[in-house]
Structure 1
Amino acid sequence: MPDVDKSYKNLFSPFEIGGKKLKNRIMSTGHDTSMPTDNLVNDQLVAYHQARAEGGAGLIILQVAGVHESARYTSHVLMATDDECIAGYRRIADVCHRNETVVFSQIFHPGREIMESSDGPLAVAYSASATPNERFHVMPRELDQEMIDEIVSGYGDAARRLEAAGLDGVEIVASHGYLPSQFLNPRVNHRTDHYNGDVTGRLRFINEIIDSVRSKTSENFVVGMRISADERDIHGLTEEESLEAAKLLQQRLDYVHLVAGTSASLGGSVHIVPPMAVEPAYLAKEAGKFKDQLTIPVLVTGRINAPQEAELIIERNQADVCGMTRALICDPEMPNKTHDGKAEDVRACIACNQACIGHFHKGFPISCIQRPETGRELKFGQMVPAATRRKVMVVGGGPAGMKAAVTAVQRGHDVTLYESNSQLGGQVLLAQLLPRRSEFGGASTNLQRELEIFGVNVRKGVVVTSEMINQEKPDVVVIATGAKPYIPAYEGGGDIQVVDAWQVLRKEVRIGRSALVVDWRCDWIGPGIAEILMREGHSVQLAVNGLNAGEILPLYVRDNMVGEMHKLGIPITTYARLYGCDDKTVYMQHTASGEPIIFEDVDTLVLCSGHTPVDSLAADLDKSIRIMRAGDCLAARTVEEAIYEGMKVGWEI
C-alpha cells in the first residue's frame, strides 16, 4: 500500500478502543439499511458491508439489533434475540476482519419510538412512563419491573451472541430519544420508583444494561454507548444532561459516540440524518466540549462528508473517530482514495437524503443517487468488461448521459458524449440555485470528475441531429436529452404574468410585487422558488397540489424546508389544483372537496408543474442503430432515476 497522504496524517493514524486497534479514524456508523430478510443478515447485507471494509473503513458499526420482541420498531429490523442470528453476523465479521476493519454492532430498544407495524395491527409500545410520542403519535405503556428485567437481560444476551459471531464489540443506543434516553430524560421519565429521581436514579436502567452486557461477554469485548449530545427539542435531553450522564458512565464504557437530535419530534428528527441545509461537521465544537471533560475515546457523527473535515476534527482534538456514513454510502472507496493521495477523486456526498434514508423510510434497501451500485453490490458490485467493443454516442450531458458514458467506457466501449450547452449538468445546474441546495451541484461535478478519470471524449456546445448521427454511424445511441417545464392546461385571461420556475432561477423575468407559486410536484422546487422571492422582498404565497409542502421529499429534507418557510412567514395552501386566472385573480380548486380556492391581488403566477420529456431525436435515425434512453427523456422524474438508468444502460451495451 502507498504511504499515506501527509495531508491526512491524523485521519490515518492508528487508534485503539478497548484494546481493538483501528487502522484509521474513519467510521461507518450504525444505520438501518432495509436489507435484512426475516430479521436476519443476508447476502445483500454482507456484500454491502464488504464493499465498505474493502474500501478502507477503519471501523464499521452495524445497524441496530433488537434485544427483545418489543424492540421491533420496523418490519425489517435485525434481531439478536435468538442464536439463529449468529451465523449471519459471523459472515460480516469475517469480511471485515479480512480487510483489517474493526466491527461492532448496535444493540437496541426503541421504547415508544415505534414507527411502523410488523404485520398491520399497531404494536404495543413501551417506555419508562406513559409519556406520548409526538412524531408517531404513539401512547406507550409504562414498563413494569418484570419486563424491565427481561429487556435488560436481552441486551446482555444479544451482546453474547454478537461476540460468539466474532464481532469486536457492541454499542448501546441511548441516542435519539430511544428507550435508554427515555429513562434518562426527566421530561419523559415520570416514574415513582428507583428508576427516577436524581440523575443516578435515571441512569439505573443504563447501568443495568451495562452490567448485563459486561457479565455475559469477555473482558476484551468492547462496550460503548451512543448518545445525543443535545436532542434539539424542547422536551429532549440537553447538552448539560447528556454530558453529565457521559461523565458518570465513562468508567464503565470503552467509548462514547456523539450524535444529535431525537426521533420524538419532527424538528429533532432532522438531526438523525441531517440534510444539506445543515452545516457540514456541525457537531465538531460540541464534541470538543465532551472530549475536554471525558477520559475515554469520543466518536462523533454529524454531516462529516469529506475527509478534509474529518482531518480537522482529529487534528483539533475534538474527537478521536469520525462517523462518515453517507460519505461511505456515496463512495465506499473514500478511505483508500484519500490514503493514496487521490482525495480529489472522492465522490462527495451531497446530503440529499433521497436514496439513503429516503429509501429506508419507504421500506426499500438504501442506495445513493450518485452511486446506484450501493445496495446493489450483488448485481453491480464488480464491473464486467463488454464482450464486444461498440462505438457509442451519448446525446445529453446531464446526470443520465454522464453516468451512461462513464459506465460504458469502464466496460471498454468507444464513447463520445455530446452536450448542446457550454456546461455539463442538465437540470442540476438549476437545482443548485435553490436555497440551501448549492451542494446539489456535486451530483454534476462528481460525474464530471469521473468523465476525466476514465477518459470519456466530451464535446460541448454541439447540437446533435439525426443527420449527424447517421453520418457517424455509431453502434449505439444513448438518448439522454432531458426534459423541459410542463405547462398545464388552465383557463387563462387578462394581463396576469405567468412564468415557470426555470425562468425565475435563470433571472429571465421580472416578478411582480405579489406572487403565487403553484406547486404540482410537491418537491423542493416550489418551496425553493417561494423562499427566493420572499427573500427578494415580494409578497409570496405557496399553493401545493398535495397534503403538504414537500410531500414527496425525504422526511428530514421536507421538515427542515417547511420549518424555514414557517420562519419566513410564507402562507401555504394545500389540496390546491390550478383552474384558471385573469387580471389579478388565480382560481384553484380544493382537490378533496371540489370547492373553489381564490387568490386575489396576484401580479405573477409561478408554475412549478413538473416536466415533460424532450425526445424527438430518434424518429429519423438509421434503423440499424440501436437506440437506448435514460433519464427524463424517457419519463421526467428525478436525478436518482437519471443516474440509475444511465448506469443500467452502460451495463446493457
Structure 2
Amino acid sequence: MLRYPHLFEPIRLGKTTFRNRMFASPISERALDSRNRPNNDCIAFYEQKAMGGAASVCVGDCVVDTKNGLFGEFMVHLDDPGTHHALNLLSAAVTRQGAVASVELQHAGLYAYGSRAAGSAVYGPCAGVDSLGNEYQEMPEEIIEKIIASYAGAAAWAKLCGFGMVTVHGGHGWLLSQFMSSKVNLRGDKWGGSLENRMRLPLAVIDAIRKSVGPGFPIEIRISGSEVTPMGYDLDEGIAIAKMLDGHVDLIHVSAGHHERKEVFTVTHPSIFSPDSANIGYAAAIKKHVKTPVASVGAHCDPELLEEIIASKKADVVEMARALMADPDLVTKARMGKPEEIRPCLRCLACFSNLITNGQIYCAVNPMIGREPEYRCTPVPAVKKTVLVAGGGVGGMQAALGAAKAGHRVILCEKSGRLGGALRCEETVSFKSKIRDYLAYQARQMAKSPVDVRLNTAVTPALASELRPDVIIAALGARPTVPPVKGIDGDNVLSAEEVYDHPEKVGQKAVVLGGGLVGVELAIHLAALGRAVTILEMMPALNSGGNILHQLALDGEIDRRGIALALGTRAVEITGRGVVGVPAGEEGGAPALFEADTVIYAIGQTPLWAEADALRESAPEFYMIGDCHVPKNIMQATSMADAAVRNIGRVL
C-alpha cells in the first residue's frame, strides 16, 4: 500500500503515460561546451533526476531563435543542427531511467540581451525601453511569422533528438507572456489589444508546434498565473489566458511572477521567507476554469503536502527544481514511504546564485550536484581506516556520515552537549525552519549510522594520542569576531550568537554592526519580534556573501520590516545611548549618534585555526574543513567535508 497513492497515480498526457505526478521542472544547468551543446556533466545532472524517480525531466533555457531571442550565454541553441548528437545522448540518458525527457522552448523577446550583444535587433510586442535603458523595436509581422516557424522547428528538432515532450515557456516575462500581457502588448493590429488578439501569437505557436510534432505528442506550456506586480497582469488575467489555452495543450504549467522584475523575483523563486508550496493558489484558481490538466510549481518539497494537493485536485501535477537538487531521490523515497529520509532543501538560493556568478550549479546540502559523474565512478576504499572527526556542526556531521558510508570506523567528538554547531542558535527563528529541518535530518542519519558520537568531548592532541586515528578531520568552526570599537565591552553590547539564544535581552531599539548575511538576517529576526532595528555597515552596500539572489529576498524583508540602513558608516564608539558612527573612508567626517538600547556585533567570524592546527601532527592524514579553515557558508562546509572523505586512503 503506497503512502501517497495520488502522487504515484500515473497520468496520461497526449499519448504518453507518465509514471507519477512529480515532474522535474525546467532548470538550466549550464554545463555546455564552447558551442553551447550539453556535455557529459550536463547529461549526468538531468539523468540523476530521472534516476531518482521524477516522471518527467525538463532541460531549461533552450532557445528557439538564436539570432533574435537569445537571453544570454549558456543556452542550448535548438536552431543549431550540430546539437543533434549531444541532445540525443541527453534524451537517451533520461529516457532509459523511465522518465519522459522534455525541453523548454524559450524566446526572450525584449529581454534578448544576448542577441543585442551579438549585434542583432531586439523586438518586443511594442517599441520601448527596458529596465536597463535599452531600446527595443516593435516586432514586425514578418518576424512574428519567422518566430512561429522557429518554435515549430525547435519542437520538431527536439522530437528528432529523442525528447518525448516540449515545454513552451509562456511565463515569467519572456516573449510569449509579453504578447499575452495587457500591460505590455499595446499593439493596434491583430497581434495586440483584445485578449483574443494578444493570445494570437501563443496560440499560433502551439498550433504550429502541433503540426510539426504530430498528434499525441505532449505539449506543456508554462505561464505565470499572475505576474504579481503592478507592471504586469493579475490572476484574473492569468485565468483568462489559461481559458484561451484550454484544449490547445496537454498540460498548463502554472508558475507566478516575472523573471526580470526584482521586486517579485522571490515569488517566482520562493525564498526562506516563503511557505512550502507557496504558489499553489495560482494553479488551484486556474484549475477551476479549465479542463486541461494543470501543473503547479514553487517551493514544492513535502510529500504529505504534495499528496494533499493532488488528492484535493488543486493541481494534477507538481513540478520541483531545487528540492530535486537537495535530494534527487526525493520521489523514490516518497514512494518507499520514507519522507524522513529526504534531504531538505534550505531554499537558500545558493544554487541559483552560484549559477549566475560562477556559471555552475552547486547545492548547499548535496555535494553531488554539479559533480554527478564523479559519484558514478568513486572506488571503494581499499583500506578501511579509523577516522576522528573533531566538531559536530554541519560539516563535521557530513564528514562523519560520508566516512562511515565508505566503510571507515568513525568517531565524532563534539565539545558541546548537542550536534549542530553554531546553527543551533538559529533554531527558533521563524524563517530558519529549513535549517532546523536539515539539522534534524542530519541527526537522524547520525543516529542510524555506526558513527561513535561522543558529546561533551573536545578533541585535543592528548585524546588523539589515546584514540590513535589514521585520519583526523578538523571541523571546529569559528567564533564571532569582536570589533575593535571603544565601548564594545559595555553591558548593552551582545554578539549575534547571544541574541539568537536570548532575544529577550535586546531592548526596543537595536543597532546591528555588520551588513553581511548574519547581521541582516538577525536584524530581520529582531524586527519580526517588534524591535526597531538599524544596520550599520562600513561598506556602501550590504554584503551578500556571494548569494546575490538570497540578498534580493533579504532586501524585500528589509523594506517590509522598515529596517533602517546606515551604509558607508564606521562605528567609532558605543555608549549607553547607542553607537557613534562616522562616514567610512572620510577623515574628519561629522559623527552621528544612532540611538539604541542594545548594540549587537555581527561583523564576521574568526576561524578556530590554531585549535585545529594543534591536531595537525596527531594522525598521518589530516584535513581542515569548513569555518575553522575559512569561514564562509554551509555549501563550503558540505563540499569540503565531502572532498576530504573522498580523499581518505587515496594515497596508501
User: Which bin holds the TM-score, normalised by the shorter protein?
Assistant: over 0.9
Q: 1:183 aligns with which of 179, 191, 205?
A: 179
Please report how far the alpha carbon of residue 571 of structure 1 lies from its aligned counterpart in structure 2 after TM superposition: 1.3
Q: 2:335 aligns with which of 307, 332, 339?
A: 339
Query: What does residue range 16-165 of structure 1 map to in structure 2 within 5 Å?
Result: 16-37=12-33, 38-69=35-66, 70-114=68-112, 125-134=122-131, 136=132, 138-165=134-161
Please report how far the alpha carbon of residue 91 of structure 1 lies from its aligned counterpart in structure 2 after TM superposition: 1.1
Matched positions, count: 644
The CA RMSD over aligned residues, in Å, is: 2.3
- Confirm whether residue 352 of structure 1 aligns to residue 345 of structure 2: no
**TM-score relative to the length of structure 2:** 0.93
Contact conserved, 1:75 with 1:119, CA < 8 A, in 2? no
* SS of residue matched to 2:381: coil
- Confirm whether residue 361 of structure 1 aligns to residue 356 of structure 2: yes
Q: Distance in 2 between matches of 1:432 and 1:34?
A: 35
Letter paired with 1:281? S
Query: What does residue range 568-607 of structure 1 map to in structure 2 within 5 Å?
Result: 568-584=561-577, 586-591=579-584, 595-596=589-590, 598-607=592-601
Please report how far the alpha carbon of residue 142 of structure 1 lies from its aligned counterpart in structure 2 after TM superposition: 2.1
Q: Distance in 1 between matches of 2:123 and 2:213?
A: 27
Shift in CA distance, 189/547, structure 1 to aligned 2, threshold 3 Å:
farther
Q: Distance in 2 between matches of 1:651 and 1:518?
A: 39
**Deviation per residue, 1:504-552 (Å, 9 max, x gap):** 11118733443211114x21x2123223333444432112344434533
Shift in CA distance, 545/606, structure 1 to aligned 2, threshold 3 Å:
same
Which segment drifts farther, 565-574 or 101-110?
A: 565-574
- Confirm whether residue 226 of structure 1 aligns to residue 222 of structure 2: yes
* SS of residue matched to 1:8: coil
Q: Distance in 2 between matches of 1:469 and 1:388?
A: 20
Shift in CA distance, 547/39, structure 1 to aligned 2, threshold 3 Å:
farther
Contact conserved, 1:517 with 1:540, CA < 8 A, in 2? yes
Query: What does residue range 461-480 of structure 1 map to in structure 2 within 5 Å?
Result: 461-480=456-475
Partner of residue 396, structure 1: 391
Please report how far the alpha carbon of residue 613 of structure 1 lies from its aligned counterpart in structure 2 after TM superposition: 0.7
Shift in CA distance, 348/532, structure 1 to aligned 2, threshold 3 Å:
closer
Shift in CA distance, 624/438, structure 1 to aligned 2, threshold 3 Å:
closer
* SS of residue matched to 1:581: strand
**Deviation per residue, 1:118-163 (Å, 9 max, x gap):** 89789754211234444x5544332222222222211111111101
Partner of residue 273, structure 1: 269
Letter paired with 2:247? Q
* SS of residue matched to 2:318: strand
- Confirm whether residue 531 of structure 1 aligns to residue 524 of structure 2: yes
**Deviation per residue, 1:427-466 (Å, 9 max, x gap):** 2212444451221223322222332344322122222221
Query: What does residue range 612-631 of structure 1 map to in structure 2 within 5 Å?
Result: 612-615=606-609, 616-619=611-614, 622=617, 624-631=619-626
Please report how far the alpha carbon of residue 307 of structure 1 lies from its aligned counterpart in structure 2 after TM superposition: 1.6
**Deviation per residue, 1:403-427 (Å, 9 max, x gap):** 1111111111111111111211112
Q: Distance in 1 between matches of 2:121 and 2:28?
A: 22
Letter paired with 2:222? R
Q: Distance in 1 between matches of 2:14 and 2:381?
A: 48
Letter paired with 2:52? G
Please report how far the alpha carbon of residue 303 of structure 1 lies from its aligned counterpart in structure 2 after TM superposition: 0.7
Please report how far the alpha carbon of residue 86 of structure 1 lies from its aligned counterpart in structure 2 after TM superposition: 2.0
Percent of aligned pairs with the same residue?
25
Query: What are structure 2's unaligned runs of at least 5 residues?
Result: none
- Confirm whether residue 636 of structure 1 aligns to residue 643 of structure 2: no
* SS of residue matched to 2:295: strand
Contact conserved, 1:478 with 1:628, CA < 8 A, in 2? yes
**TM-score relative to the length of structure 1:** 0.93
Shift in CA distance, 423/496, structure 1 to aligned 2, threshold 3 Å:
closer
Letter paired with 1:207? L
Shift in CA distance, 508/542, structure 1 to aligned 2, threshold 3 Å:
closer
Partner of residue 647, structure 2: 652
Please report how far the alpha carbon of residue 88 of structure 1 lies from its aligned counterpart in structure 2 after TM superposition: 1.4
Contact conserved, 2:64 with 2:107, CA < 8 A, in 1? yes
Partner of residue 169, structure 1: 165
Query: What does residue range 232-381 of structure 1 map to in structure 2 within 5 Å?
Result: 232-354=228-350, 356-381=351-376
Letter paired with 1:91? L
Shift in CA distance, 277/550, structure 1 to aligned 2, threshold 3 Å:
farther
Contact conserved, 1:577 with 1:591, CA < 8 A, in 2? yes
Contact conserved, 2:59 with 2:103, CA < 8 A, in 1? yes
* SS of residue matched to 1:578: strand
* SS of residue matched to 2:27: coil
* SS of residue matched to 2:505: coil
Q: 2:494 aligns with which of 492, 496, 499?
A: 499
Letter paired with 1:257? H
Letter paired with 1:470? S
Q: 2:505 aligns with which of 503, 510, 514?
A: 510
Shift in CA distance, 457/187, structure 1 to aligned 2, threshold 3 Å:
same
Letter paired with 2:574? C
Contact conserved, 2:578 with 2:599, CA < 8 A, in 1? no
Contact conserved, 1:514 with 1:538, CA < 8 A, in 2? yes
* SS of residue matched to 1:323: strand
Shift in CA distance, 597/85, structure 1 to aligned 2, threshold 3 Å:
farther
Q: Distance in 2 between matches of 1:622 and 1:187?
A: 67
* SS of residue matched to 1:412: coil
Q: Distance in 1 between matches of 2:31 and 2:186?
A: 37
